[in-house]
Amino acid sequence: MMLFEPEKPSRQAPKFETLRKLYVLSGNLCAYPGCNKLLLDANANFVGQICHIEAASPGGERFNPNMTNEERRHFDNLMLMCYDHHIETNKVAEYPVERLKSFKREHEAKFSTEALVQSILNSLRDYTEHGADFEKVKSLKNLFDTLYPQSNQSRRPVEEIERDCDAFNQTIEQYLKLSLLARRLFLIGLKHSHHPFYTKWRLDTDVLYVEFSEIANKLNMTFRLNRENDIGSLVDEIESNGLMHVSEFDLGYDRIVHRYTYTAVNPKLEASEFIWLYIKDFCEKTNKDVVSFVSDLDFSELDEPI
């Protein structure tokens, strides 16, 4: 009968994935309760300490001879602290294993995916309750003067001005029905949207369209319709709110493509089909970031120049 020799304790470096998980759940803060010292400084230098709850080798604090080397370098036995608290917790009588494990558990719980998602949802709820109002436009005079300086838009009939303002205000009201994440994606899409659209038969100057696969690449995400955890579900939300629809284009040579186009929220108001194109063109002509401009919900400059 062969007897296996017990594993000889030896200090082994933590695996990369272990270090990554430790840092993500650290929130870049020392795990000692109440400590706000950063683990990564402003120059991207790691100034924290990788600490073993039960020591990596004999003679160390809280060494457990019954652990394997793999268990000693496992995520559950490691925590990140600042230098001062690494030294402080070397007092074994004051900081036994269970106390350090509770430090680790409570600290990492603050930065778990579930906790962060709930924190984000709470902040979004507050934002949508108090930040989803805007002052309606009254003339759009400066918008049209900026886009069409030679067309005497200021002389438009009152009825036409009212229709254009109604189209604009209804469009923004519909946009504000989106969740915060869907709004953000919608505006990023607007920023990177394309215009005009070239087909086999014509140049479509009225179409403003977006390639969400392109946007997904910019965001380092995936785009698959009707799937969770990617932008597909947000695109579904945008489309269901009538802010976009899928259009089919014939590029010729038997090639048909589908693109998401910004669309009218009220088909009865012809101008509503062009609101997002107007906004994008205005921001380009006045050197504004369209994402910030719409997010701020201050459209007074479209009536009168600042």
Q: What are the tens digits of pLDDT across the range 119-145?
A: 544 544 444 444 457 889 999 999 989
Q: What is the pTM of this model?
A: 0.54
Query: Has residue 36 got a pLDDT over 60?
Result: yes
Structure tokens of 184? 């953000």
Cα–Cα distance measured from residue 262 to residue 277, given in angstroms and rounded to the nearest whole number? 8
Amino acid found at 2: M
163-199 tens-digit pLDDT: 999 999 999 999 998 888 888 888 888 988 886 554 4
Contact assessment for residue 89 and residue 95, using Cβ atoms and an 8 Å cutoff = yes
281-291 tens-digit pLDDT: 999 999 999 98
The overall average pLDDT reported for the chain is 81
Contact assessment for residue 261 and residue 207, using Cβ atoms and an 8 Å cutoff = yes
How large a percentage of the chain has pLDDT more than 70? 76
User: For the chain, what percentages of helix, strand and coil (3-state, to nearest 5) are there?
Assistant: 45, 10, 45
- The dihedral over CA atoms of 287, 291, 296, 301, expressed in degrees to the nearest 10, equals 30
